[in-house]
Amino acid sequence: MVSGETNGQRPAQQRTAYLGPEASFSHQAAVEALPHTVPIPLPSFKAILQGIQDSGDEAADAYDYAVLPVENSTNGSVVQALDLVAQCGLTSAYSDVEVIDEYYLEVHHNLFVSRIWAEQKLDQEDFAALPIDIEQATKQDTKQQLHNGSSTSEVPSNPSPMNGLNNVLEKLETKTLHTHPQVWGQCNNILSTYLPPGNVDRVDMSSTSAAAAFIADSSHSSQDGLAAISSSLAGAKHANDLVCIARNIEDEPGENTTRFLVLKNRKRSQACLPLHEKLQQGSIQIKSLWAFTIAHFVPGTLATTLSVFAKHNFNLSAIQSRPRPKQKILGGEQGHVTSKRSQDNNWRYIFFVECLHQRDAALMNQGDEELGKLLKELESVTEQISLLGSWKDRLC
């Protein structure tokens, strides 16, 4: 367990920065991934990275950790966050920030309306059926369809729960839907069927929790046809002002997962994370994240770079590219970063690579010799290369 003892001017309890406001999915990830710390909301991804960068060993009111969403199983990469992560190794912006762990959060989205509006539009029978669980309703519909297809009985089947959802939404006369922009693609099946863009305006919010707070606000709660897609955590926070109409409205409920990276300042001394408390015996799988740039106009450079990972018995698990930021490039004075050229042109890219290798569990708190050998050879085939972090693979 990470120690809660004070050190100079440090807070008595360690703190984890996350993308606020409260009750966001990032808040939930911070609570679940680092339950021994106090979660602190920050207004933007940039504020999170800067907060960690400024949290050196002597910094007061600093952040010991941060959780940053970088990928969703439905929507793919969170590019705004990924672009900032690139600057942790290849520019001077966040040179002290490193990745030390990952956390996978199962994401469930829920449809809320204000309690005032629901009480005006729905009767007691409607309220008794709420919230409609889309995952269970879909399964029930499928089961009924299979039964009706094989049955010769003329007795009518039970009413479909999804028809009940449609009836409730028609009564609510939903005109405007608020949520974070990432959510539209994650709930496409339900939204395109019951709340299509042609009938319902979509309003992007800074977070799903901000959407819930907006609908719950007394100045908006009585307005016609407002709804929000938010987490159950946000719904619980505003339980007196919101009614959950439907839960688990995401595509393929149970399969929607967001991956968070856990960050810290490499200069901030602290005890190990809980994952190091009870190490298993024998070999464990380590995941490492790299960022590099190459000479784009030299044939075969990318292929040559990737072949180095295989040569050292590192298994590539992911690769993607992002536009290279136009910022001052770090020099070679830091051991984890090498830069051969500082020119920045349009249409040049940073490549992110994640790879896996096996390591003795007993050596987890020591330097990784194999990573060092890999870095040394990668330096000879790239323009810049940075090891952004390594940790125990959470998918094993």
Are residues 21 and 128 located together in one domain of the fold?
A: no
Domain containing residue 294: CATH number: 3.40.190.10
Are residues 82 and 183 located together in one domain of the fold?
A: no
Confidence category of residue 280, pLDDT binned at 50, 70, 90: low
Two tokens, residue 144: 């009924």
Threshold 0.85, pTM exceeds: no
Are residues 205 and 267 located together in one domain of the fold?
A: no
Q: What is the pLDDT of residue 334?
A: 43
Q: Tell me, yes or no, whether 88 lies in a domain.
A: yes
Q: What is the pLDDT of residue 148?
A: 60
Cα gap 104→219, rounded to integer Å: 36
Query: Of 74-83, 106-115, 362-371, which one has max mean pLDDT?
Result: 106-115
Last residue of a domain, one of 188, 217, 247: 247
**Angle, alpha carbons 324-79-321 (nearest 5°):** 45
Q: What is the pLDDT of residue 182?
A: 87
How buried is residue 17: exposed, middle or buried, by Cβ count under 10 Å (0-12/13-18/19+)? buried
Are residues 220 and 287 located together in one domain of the fold?
A: no
Q: Tell me, yes or no, whether 375 lies in a domain.
A: yes
The domain in which residue 121 lies consists of: 110-140+162-247
Domain count of the chain? Answer: 2
CB atoms within 10 A of CB 367: 7
Backbone angles phi, psi at 346, to 5 degrees: -65, 155
Greater model confidence, 187 or 344: 187
Cα gap 110→250, rounded to integer Å: 8
Q: Tell me, yes or no, whether 329 lies in a domain.
A: yes
Are residues 261 and 367 located together in one domain of the fold?
A: yes
Beta-carbon contacts of 323 under 8 Å, excluding residues fewer than 6 positions away, are 83, 348, 349, 350
Cα gap 93→330, rounded to integer Å: 9
Q: Tell me, yes or no, whether 148 lies in a domain.
A: no
Confidence category of residue 366, pLDDT binned at 50, 70, 90: low
Helices 301-311 & 369-379 angle (0-180, nearest 10): 160
Are residues 230 and 283 located together in one domain of the fold?
A: no
Q: What is the pLDDT of residue 164?
A: 86
Are residues 191 and 283 located together in one domain of the fold?
A: no
Of the listed ranges 120-124, 228-232, 246-250, 332-336, the one predicted with least confidence: 332-336
Q: Tell me, yes or no, whether 2 lies in a domain.
A: no
Cα gap 283→29, rounded to integer Å: 28
Are residues 32 and 92 located together in one domain of the fold?
A: yes
Instruction: Give me the mean pLDDT over the 186-212 stretch.
Output: 94
The mean pLDDT of the chain is 85
Q: What is the pLDDT of residue 330?
A: 53
Are residues 114 and 46 located together in one domain of the fold?
A: no
Tell me: the pLDDT tens digits for 133-176?
998 887 776 666 565 665 544 444 555 668 888 999 999 999 99
Last residue of a domain, one of 218, 247, 276: 247
Tell me: the pLDDT tens digits for 36-59?
999 999 999 999 999 999 998 777
Q: Tell me, yes or no, whether 275 lies in a domain.
A: yes
Cα gap 388→263, rounded to integer Å: 10
Q: Tell me, yes or no, whether 263 lies in a domain.
A: yes
Query: Of 53-57, 180-184, 311-315, which one has max mean pLDDT?
Result: 311-315
Q: Tell me, yes or no, whether 146 lies in a domain.
A: no
Cα gap 228→312, rounded to integer Å: 49
Are residues 185 and 70 located together in one domain of the fold?
A: no
Last residue of a domain, one of 194, 228, 247: 247
Tokens 């505003």 appear where? 238
Two tokens, residue 140: 């029930």
Is pLDDT of 178 > 80? yes
Are residues 280 and 315 located together in one domain of the fold?
A: yes
Are residues 360 and 316 located together in one domain of the fold?
A: yes
**Percent of the chain beyond pLDDT 70?**
82
Two tokens, residue 103: 């956390």
